[in-house]
Amino acid sequence: MKAARLYGIEDIRVEDIPIPEINEDEVLIKVKASFICGTDVRFYKNGLPGNSDQPLVAGHEIAGVVEKVGARIKGYAVGTRVGVAPNYGCGVCDLCTSGNSHMCLESEALGVSVDGGFAEYMRVPAAAVAQGNISPLEDSISFEEAALAEPLSCVYNAYEKIGIYPGDHVLVIGAGPIGLMHIRVAFLAGAAAVYVTDLSEDRLALAKKLIPEVTVLKNETLDEDIKKYTGGRLMNLVITAASVSVIQESAFKYVGLDGRVMFFGGLPKGKSIVKLDTNEIHYKQLTVAGTTRQSLRQYRLCLKLIASGRLKVSDLVTASAPLDDINSIIANVAAGKGLKSVITI
Ligand SMILES: [Zn+2]
Ligand SMILES: [Zn+2]
């Protein structure tokens, strides 16, 4: 089969390798759609994650069809259209049994610590099968939409942790695909107004085109505009959806009394120490939180949300290419071109 394997910094090779063997407790997926994420771009720029020296098939935003099921597998049939959540745990610790397998100390992830979706076929390990990482799809959801349930459920995790309430004024810093998902979730949750800012004028224009009800705030006049639009009360919630340290620092300036701040975008290694006036947190009575990845419950909920038509993601797909073009398409994503780019197989 064809697979894109990461060997090191800016070294992805599309190779012909054997179709993975599965044991009696595993499932083989024929991949149909696999999106490129900021994490994949980080691997491309910084090399293999962890201490591994084995080439890795990256790709963790995946949907496909069940190709083969192990002899002891119940509940999955060949030919079923499925979405595959990437994170799974040991299955027995307190975090796993409380529905937080993505936080398990032994957690693994398809496309990160084991081979993922940038290939024609993907083996789903026994632990992931047993934990329910493979989700059958409703007819109303496409492979691409299903693959986007992965990033959407990361956003949904942030929403559940920090809360968005009817009447809230919400500022999203960063108009990339993740920022746009935060905006849509905020409107769905009943926010009175959602604002977005970004250094890129192109991204702001695209945000306005896709979500006409969002208020676009230009970076140069951000301070005045936020005061003007909120009558001086500032934001109920600020979400940072960009991996820039000054953005995390500025979040405290834009949040009002009794407000909340969600640190969503991670910062590059070595650049994650930011200046923080803790008096702002204390005297403004702020809640500050962060989230990472998603639980399986949140993943499945987002599949349902997309299938129901209540939350649109299909218009975030701005590029589609075959596996052979993965190098050029990752370079485009790294350069901030477009929103979501998918490898179709
Ligand atoms: Zn991702
Ligand atoms: Zn565990």
Ligand (nearest to CA of 92):
2
How far is the centre of ligand 2, averaged over its atoms, from the C-alpha of 108 (Å)? 10
Place 7 in a pLDDT band, splitting at 50, 70 and 90.
Answer: very high
How far is the centre of ligand 2, averaged over its atoms, from the C-alpha of 216 (Å)? 42
Q: What is the mean pLDDT of the chain?
A: 96
Residues 126-181 have pLDDT tens digits of 999 999 999 999 999 999 999 999 999 999 999 999 999 999 999 999 999 999 99
**149-162 vs 296-307: helix axis angle to the nearest 10?**
110
How far is the centre of ligand 2, averaged over its atoms, from the C-alpha of 86 (Å)? 15
pLDDT at 62 (0 to 100)? 98
How far is the centre of ligand 1, averaged over its atoms, from the C-alpha of 178 (Å)? 10
CA distances to 18, 49, 87 from 52, rounded to whole Å, are: 21, 7, 18
- Identify the weakest region by mean pLDDT among 48-57, 172-181, 233-242: 48-57
Residues 170-225 have pLDDT tens digits of 999 999 999 999 999 999 999 999 999 999 999 999 999 999 999 999 999 999 99
How far is the centre of ligand 1, averaged over its atoms, from the C-alpha of 264 (Å)? 12
Dmax (CA) of the chain: 64
Query: Contact, 74 vs 25, CB < 8 A?
Result: no
How far is the centre of ligand 2, averaged over its atoms, from the C-alpha of 130 (Å)? 13
Residues forming a β-bridge with 68 = 28
What tokens does 106 get? Answer: 């032994």
Distance CA 278, CA 264 (A): 19
pLDDT tops 90 at residue 276: no
DSSP state, 52? -
Tally of helices (H runs) and strands (E runs) in the chain: 12, 17
Place 226 in a pLDDT band, splitting at 50, 70 and 90.
Answer: very high
pLDDT at 166 (0 to 100)? 98
Q: State which amino acid sits at residue 241.
A: A
pLDDT at 268 (0 to 100)? 78
How far is the centre of ligand 1, averaged over its atoms, from the C-alpha of 148 (Å)? 9
Average pLDDT of 294-302?
Answer: 98
How far is the centre of ligand 2, averaged over its atoms, from the C-alpha of 94 (Å)? 7
Residue 232 sits at φ, ψ, to 5 deg, of 85, -5
pLDDT at 157 (0 to 100)? 98
What tokens does 131 get? Answer: 């934990």
How far is the centre of ligand 1, averaged over its atoms, from the C-alpha of 134 (Å)? 17
Pick the more confident residue, 76 or 274. Answer: 76
pLDDT at 245 (0 to 100)? 86
pLDDT at 243 (0 to 100)? 84
pLDDT at 186 (0 to 100)? 98
pLDDT at 51 (0 to 100)? 74
Does the pTM surpass 0.95? The reply is: yes
pLDDT at 291 (0 to 100)? 96
CA distances to 148, 183, 257, 296, 317 from 197, rounded to whole Å, are: 23, 11, 21, 31, 21
Ligand (nearest to CA of 292):
1
CA within 13 Å, CB half, 302: 31
Ligand (nearest to CA of 96):
2
How far is the centre of ligand 1, averaged over its atoms, from the C-alpha of 59 (Å)? 8
